[in-house]
Amino acid sequence: MNHPQPSGSAWRRPMVPRLSGERHRTATVLELFFDLCFVTAVAQTAAAFEHEMAAGKVGHGVLGYALVFFAIWWAWMNFTWFASAYDTDDVPYRLLTLLQIAGALVLAAGASKALEHYDFTVITYGYVVMRLAMVSQWLRAARSDPEHRRTCLRYAVGVLVVQIGWVVRLALPDDAGLPAFFVLVVAELAVPAWAERAGRTTWHPHHIAERYGLFTLIVLGESITAATATVRAALDTEVSLGDIAPPAVGGILTVFAMWWLYFTQSAADKLNSLNTALRWGYGHYFVFASAAAVGAGLAVEIAHLTGHAHLGRLAVAAAYTVPVALYVAVLRLLHRGAVRLDAQDAVWAVGILAVLAVTFTPSPVLATGCVASTLVAAVVTMTHRARTPIPQAG
């Protein structure tokens, strides 16, 4: 049986499940604090990615970024879904959540070293700390919630076993490190699917949609912050304002459009089954990673203008346009679900292709901003027409 949670913190409460249809279920101040601390790791990873790209290490940078971002995203995502079902807001819950935040800060400290040198020692320690805190949370839930005990124990055991694997991986030879990483990623991804099939936890669709939306906002905001710092640094050089203006304006237009496209449709109504929830949750790896990479791509563009990027013009442009195109493509796939192809699919597809095409233009960032803004206008117009009832004759 599900129970609403009393307001205010307490020393200790039974970790009974929240109501999956609870009214006025919104993000808590602790969850917002959690997100803000996690975005530190996002910022450090994006900065290291920008450094690798500007240095001309494209393949090395992309792979390292993908690996490091997985640790950030996966730890954030697991806490988010757990909290949606079992947020008791008592002292042990808060302390374990703060422990996860501490682990995220350790992860942030090791992000640059992991991405630039594939040295995952520090980042692994921070990640394991976060995940072991989640094991404790799942064991608490198993004790207090007999109805979902099997599910909770599956989570606890699965997460614990994989964490042992991450620690063992540090002792493997260098040539075995990367294959082991991918094996452990698959194991991590399999745990929720395996556990939830023993009985779905009572996560709240509207709460989940809000949490993902809020983190997307924070990541987009971090991209704006990073881009602003880069533009400010460029203005301290001999580069003129006229040279900086096109990428600066294009970057702002792009991020505004990315925000608008994300919130064009409601996600909560689509989170109605385990399969759709897994697709939504897992697909956001690419949403978050590409959103953060857009800021890094803009920084690479500015570095090229100031003569600090060791990349060709085409590679510099692609560092910005490819993440934007990936963001738009994944967003459309997540929102459309399994419905038949329609006119909006064609509009989104044209928008994605147009973003990739402007890679070859003289001012790709500004052109991307214009294309993205045009896509927003088209989507808003088509959505409005679809919702407007057709007048009946007579």
Domain boundary among 178, 196, 214: 196
pLDDT in tens, 277-299: 888 899 999 999 999 999 999 98
Q: What is the pLDDT of residue 304?
A: 84
In this structure, are 236 and 373 located in the same domain?
yes
Mean pLDDT to the nearest integer, 105-110: 92
In this structure, are 252 and 150 located in the same domain?
no
Instruction: Name the DSSP letter for residue 359.
Output: G
Is 175 within the bounds of a domain?
Answer: yes
The full length of the chain comes to: 394
Residue 84 has pLDDT above 50, yes or no: yes
Residue 29 has pLDDT above 80, yes or no: yes
Is 285 within the bounds of a domain?
Answer: yes
Is 6 within the bounds of a domain?
Answer: no
In this structure, are 224 and 371 located in the same domain?
yes
In this structure, are 238 and 309 located in the same domain?
yes
The total domain count for the chain is: 2
Long-range contacts of 156-161 (CB under 8 A, 24+ apart): 158/187, 158/190, 158/191, 158/194, 158/195, 159/78, 159/131, 159/134, 159/135, 159/191, 160/132, 160/135, 161/187
Is 9 within the bounds of a domain?
Answer: no
In this structure, are 248 and 371 located in the same domain?
yes
Residue 1 has pLDDT above 50, yes or no: no
Q: What is the pLDDT of residue 235?
A: 73
In this structure, are 224 and 329 located in the same domain?
yes
In this structure, are 305 and 374 located in the same domain?
yes
Domain that holds residue 290: 205-387
Look at residues 275, 164, 266, 258 and name the one whose alpha carbon lies nearest to residue 217: 258
By the 10 Å C-beta count (0-12 exposed, 13-18 middle, 19+ buried), 233 is classed as middle
Least confident among 40-49, 141-150, 189-198, 222-231: 222-231
Other CB atoms within 10 A of residue 66 CB? 16
In this structure, are 114 and 214 located in the same domain?
no
Look at residues 202, 212, 292, 282 and name the one whose alpha carbon lies nearest to residue 255: 292
Q: What is the pLDDT of residue 8?
A: 54
Domain boundary among 196, 215, 236: 196
In this structure, are 105 and 44 located in the same domain?
yes
Is 278 within the bounds of a domain?
Answer: yes
Residue 6 has pLDDT above 70, yes or no: no
In this structure, are 190 and 261 located in the same domain?
no
Q: What is the pLDDT of residue 292?
A: 94
pLDDT in tens, 116-165: 888 999 999 999 999 999 999 999 999 999 999 999 999 999 999 999 99
Is 244 within the bounds of a domain?
Answer: yes
Is 274 within the bounds of a domain?
Answer: yes
Phi, psi angle pair for 388, to nearest 5°: -85, 120
CA dist., res. 295 & res. 21, Å (int): 37
Identify the band that residue 240 occupies on the pLDDT scale cut at 50, 70 and 90. Answer: confident
Long-range contacts of 182-188 (CB under 8 A, 24+ apart): 185/70, 187/158, 187/161, 187/162, 188/74, 188/162
Least confident among 185-189, 215-219, 337-341: 337-341
Q: What is the CATH number of the domain that holds 227?
A: 1.20.1410
pLDDT in tens, 335-347: 876 567 778 889 9
| In the chain, % of residues over pLDDT 70 | 94
pLDDT in tens, 309-361: 788 889 999 999 999 999 999 999 988 765 677 788 899 999 999 999 999 99
Q: What is the pLDDT of residue 4?
A: 52
In this structure, are 129 and 219 located in the same domain?
no
pLDDT in tens, 244-260: 888 888 999 999 999 99
Is 8 within the bounds of a domain?
Answer: no
Domain boundary among 170, 196, 222: 196
Tokens 């602790």, residue?
Answer: 30
In this structure, are 149 and 228 located in the same domain?
no
Average pLDDT, the chain: 88
